[in-house]
Amino acid sequence: MLEQLLIFTRGGLILWELGNALKGSPIDALIRSCLLEERSADAAFHYDAPAGCAAYTLKWAFDNDLGLVFVAVYQRILHLLYVDDLLAAVRREFSRVYEPKRTSYDDFDETFRQLQKEAEARAEEIRKFKQAGRAPAAPGKKQVPGAASRGSGKQRSSGGGGSGKDESDGDPGKGRRSENGSSKGHENEIKPNSRAQNVVVHGKENGAPQVEAFDVSKLQKLRSKGAKKTDTGGGGCKAAKAEPKKIAKKNRVWDDSPSESRLDFTDPVDDRGEGPEIVVADQGESMMDKEEIVSSDSEGEEDEEVRNEKPDTKKKGWFSSMLQSISGNALLEKSDLRPALKALKDRLMTKNVAEEIAEKLCESVATSLEGKKLGSFTRVSSTVQTAMEEALLRILTPKRSIDILRDVHAAKEQGRPYIVVFVGVNGVGKSTNLAKVAYWLLQHKINVMLAACDTFRSGAVEQLRTHARRLQIPIFEKGYEKDPAIVAKEAIQEAKRNNSDVVLVDTAGRMQDNEPLMRALSKLINLNNPDLVLFVGEALVGNDAVDQLTKFNQKLADLSMVPNARLIDGILLTKFDTIDDKVVGAALSMVYVSGAPVMFVGCGQSYTDLKKLNIKSIVKTLLK
């Protein structure tokens, strides 16, 4: 049975409610994690309640014209089949009685009870019909293997599922292929009403018996033909293979310069690992205190004007299209939105947005616009463009405060250091950007200490030691082949003794599929409970960004030894200076997958090359 059904406006006003408020507020979690994150095209939302409570499944429907949201909540273990049908009926009936100025709908209770009875009755009829459709499958199991091929296509279809009836009736070859290519067990495992699964089974597992046995004599003939071909043109190939020789590369000698020069410019270091004192030069103000990150105005707005001047490709006449634009009473349907959404999806993918993310965004925009009235003198393309722009702004805008300076001072008042852990895959620039963050904090008069917890990669400790010398800040290190979780714990204790305000923890780069290293990272995070876990990722990645962040969060959750696992809190995008306005989509892909905001953007090699993300500029660039 339903636990709760809620009808409310997009502004948050509750109009009608069935049931009492549930523990954990699953509807609030739905709004935060799904509706505001442009995931409304998903089929359902699964909510894991606190310990000792039931898990819930939430389904929803929209009336975009009236701005209403209908949400149904039921226990996940029940698998209610009538919820979608009930939501559609409730949306239809409630939209008829809805009035904008009315806030109470107590008289809707009787209507809902009637709708629920009808939906449950229809679901029961469908369930009985499916059981009746699967009944002939029982005697079919006792048939001999050859008997199945003599049966009609209709009987084979009902044994495997009701959806395959039309296909097997018209193509008896499919039935023979299924009988010959798979065992009896696999034959009965095909799920009902799954046409896609039947296609996969016929195309992969059952396609093998149709192929004839390979003749070995044909292989010998092919080899002989290949040998003849190599004999005809083999002379030139042999000569070509014997001719090239590797020539050692020589240093280029420029005019008026010595032939050999010293290439090792590293600082001399004594036996204790200490070099000469380096006083860091003031490189100026960090770009974090400036606003602009990406300028989309450089290319002008000519492209936008040209795009708006494109003629409408619909088959309607000039007068009818003009009349429709003036009246503004057309209700948007999915068929109207499909061309504009396809063009928008292709545009996002050219900007390096992952295909999966672009597809989900377009589905969410279609869900939010379907059934909405088209305004006067408004085109479908411009309406879709505006809806997508609003969706992107909602996704990229942080849902919580990202003011690290305020959080640092709050931790300082509590008498403890603020801990930041940098994680990510190999070679993305964690240590370099850690030094940039340290430089920015130093400009705000904050005491910083570095923790060298990358005990895996050769040269990692020396690299961080060099940054610490240049920035004149302390570093805590224990060398290599040590447990990074213990090193981080000792570094935090040392920071407390030295009254350091911030501890920046450098970790080893690791691929998302490397379970030993991911287990060590999970141990480091759970043992030290950092204030901020920053994922460092490249701005160059496309589809791989989805895989990296998804698996990082999944591994941190699976390998955690505590009930509430710590996941990624923020994102630091690196190498942003190596891309142009055409491939800025990695930021959108990462934020959409993880829900974590982009807190820093690295855009160069100097300590000042650290910026904030200009969200409006990124959105404009994505839709340009």
What is the per-residue DSSP string for 342-381? HHHHHHHHHTT--HHHHHHHHHHHHHHHTTPBPPTT--HH
Residue 162, domain member (yes or no) = no
**pLDDT given for residue 473 in this prediction:** 93
**pLDDT given for residue 536 in this prediction:** 92
- Residues 558 and 582 both lie in one domain: yes
- Residues 474 and 596 both lie in one domain: yes
**pLDDT given for residue 46 in this prediction:** 82
Mean pLDDT on 555-582: 84
Q: Are 584 and 549 contacting, i.e. CB atoms less than 8 angstroms apart?
A: no
Mean pLDDT on 111-134: 83
What six digits make up the tokens of 229?
A: 């071909």
Q: Among 364, 396, 428, where does a domain finish?
A: 396
Q: What confidence tens digit (pLDDT) does each residue in 28-60 have?
A: 888 877 877 777 777 788 877 666 677 888 888
Instruction: Indicate whether 399 pLDDT > 80.
Output: yes
**pLDDT given for residue 288 in this prediction:** 73
Q: What confidence tens digit (pLDDT) does each residue in 366-382 have?
A: 888 888 877 766 788 88
Instruction: Indicate whether 387 pLDDT > 60.
Output: yes
Residue 458, domain member (yes or no) = yes
Which CATH number goes with the domain that contains 110?
A: 3.30.450.60
pLDDT tier, 101 (very low <50, low <70, confident <90, very high otherwise)? confident
Q: Among 71, 103, 125, where does a domain finish?
A: 125
323 Cβ contact partners less than 8 Å away, ≥ 6 residues apart: none
Alpha carbon 161 to chain centroid distance? 34
pLDDT tier, 99 (very low <50, low <70, confident <90, very high otherwise)? confident
Residue 453, domain member (yes or no) = yes
What six digits make up the tokens of 548?
A: 């990296």
Compute the distance between CA of residue 144 and CA of residue 201 in angstroms, rounded to an integer: 21
Instruction: Indicate whether 460 pLDDT > 80.
Output: yes
- Residues 540 and 430 both lie in one domain: yes
578 Cβ contact partners less than 8 Å away, ≥ 6 residues apart: 539, 540
- Residues 368 and 458 both lie in one domain: no
**Structural domains in the chain (count):** 3
Lowest mean pLDDT among 101-115, 313-327, 423-437, 471-485: 313-327
Name the DSSP class of 307.
H
Residue 507, domain member (yes or no) = yes
Q: Among 77, 94, 125, where does a domain finish?
A: 125
Mean pLDDT on 201-221: 44
Compute the distance between CA of residue 424 and CA of residue 410 in angstroms, rounded to an integer: 27
**pLDDT given for residue 475 in this prediction:** 94
Compute the distance between CA of residue 286 and CA of residue 609 in angstroms, rounded to an integer: 7
Secondary structure, 3-state, 592-617: HHHCCCEEEEECCCCCCCEECCCHHH
- Residues 375 and 413 both lie in one domain: no
- Residues 453 and 366 both lie in one domain: no
Residue 242, domain member (yes or no) = no
Residue 191, domain member (yes or no) = no
Residue 378, domain member (yes or no) = yes
Comparing 563 with 12, which gets the higher pLDDT?
Answer: 12
Which CATH number goes with the domain that contains 466?
A: 3.40.50.300
- Residues 410 and 371 both lie in one domain: no
- Residues 410 and 386 both lie in one domain: no
Residue 136, domain member (yes or no) = no
- Residues 497 and 573 both lie in one domain: yes
Q: What confidence tens digit (pLDDT) does each residue in 220-241 have?
A: 555 555 544 444 444 444 444 4
Instruction: Indicate whether 579 pLDDT > 70.
Output: yes
**pLDDT given for residue 278 in this prediction:** 54
Spatial CA neighbour of 506 closest among 599, 590, 407, 436: 436
- Residues 424 and 367 both lie in one domain: no
Q: What confidence tens digit (pLDDT) does each residue in 143-193 have?
A: 444 444 444 444 443 444 444 444 444 444 444 444 444 444 444 443 444
Q: Are 446 and 502 contacting, i.e. CB atoms less than 8 angstroms apart?
A: yes
- Residues 390 and 413 both lie in one domain: no
- Residues 428 and 551 both lie in one domain: yes
Domain containing 73: what range?
2-125
User: What percent of the chain is predicted at pLDDT more than 90?
Assistant: 18
Among left, alpha and beta (phi > 0; psi -120 to 50; other), residue 479 is left
Name the DSSP class of 578.
G
Computed over every residue of the chain, the mean pLDDT equals 74
Q: Are 503 and 451 contacting, i.e. CB atoms less than 8 angstroms apart?
A: yes
Instruction: Indicate whether 142 pLDDT > 90.
Output: no
Q: What confidence tens digit (pLDDT) does each residue in 55-98 have?
A: 888 888 888 888 888 898 888 888 888 888 899 999 889 988 88
